[in-house]
Amino acid sequence: MIMRFVFSLVSTLVMLTCAQAQQAGTQAVIHTSVGEIVIELYPDKAPATVENFLQYAKTGHYDRTIIHRVVSGYVIQGGGYSRYFNERPTREPIAYEGGNGLKNRRGAIAMARGDDPDSAQAQWFINIQDNDDLDHKTVEGMPLYGYVVFGRVIEGMNVVDAIGAVETGPGGPFEAEVPVEQILVERVDPLE
């Protein structure tokens, strides 16, 4: 009787641990020339966006790219340009998943996009502060499209802050907001 109870208890604990591991989602490490940023991804909230990001990471798209945009106290952005400002080729854009309840809070990682909400491809940004103006909203029954959050920084926010504090100026095709001293994204490693 006691053995059956212990077996049942152990089975329950194993199932709960597996369920928690599945809920925790996937992680990835963004290796930069300033340090490592570990992000937790939310495939349950933004499945297409997470899969898109992971595919770009696994194929080496992010290897040896730069953080090409830093807006002090706001965001850092990368995922699109080589150190020579050559834009990396991308796959087709993905569908907008911004109504997923995730917010552009400090440490959240989101997809950059153009004017069309369904135009996100490879570029991403990390919020340095809470940026409510970037969130998906519904006003009088109409959607106001924001930027799709698909994860958050769980380690290395000090690295994000350090990048966010660098001196910026013109660079490549950009008139401003480019780090004067290049910050390299060496690679992005998914952690299953």
- Summarised one tens digit per residue, pLDDT across range 131-181 is 999 999 999 999 999 999 999 999 999 999 999 999 999 999 999 999 999
Pair 61, 88: CB distance under 8 Å = yes
Q: Is the pLDDT of residue 83 over 70?
A: yes
What domain count does the chain have?
1
Q: Is residue 8 part of a domain?
A: no
CB-CB contact of 2 with 166 (8 Å): no
Residue 7 in domain: no
Q: Is residue 81 part of a domain?
A: yes
Say which residue the tokens 């400090």 belong to.
106
> What is the value of pTM for the model shown?
0.87
Cα Dmax for the chain: 74
**Tens-digit pLDDT profile for residues 13-65:** 434 333 343 444 699 999 999 999 999 999 999 999 999 999 999 999 999 99
Residue 5: pLDDT over 90: no
What's the average model confidence in pLDDT over 98-114? 97
For residue 25, the model assigns a pLDDT of 64
Inside any domain, residue 16: no
Residue at 11 is within a domain: no
Measure the CA–CA gap between 156 and 135, rounded to whole angstroms.
23
DSSP 150-192: EEEEEE-HHHHHHHHTS-EEEETTEEEEEESS--EEEEEEEE-
Mean pLDDT of 87-97: 98
CATH value at residue 95: 2.40.100.10
Q: Does some domain include residue 57?
A: yes
| Residue 2 lies inside a defined structural domain of this protein | no
Instruction: Assess if residue 4 is contained within a domain.
Output: no
Q: Is it the case that residue 7 has pLDDT exceeding 80? A: no
For 114, the domain range is 26-191
CA dist 127 and 4 (Å) reads 50
Task: Check residue 21 and give its pLDDT.
Answer: 38
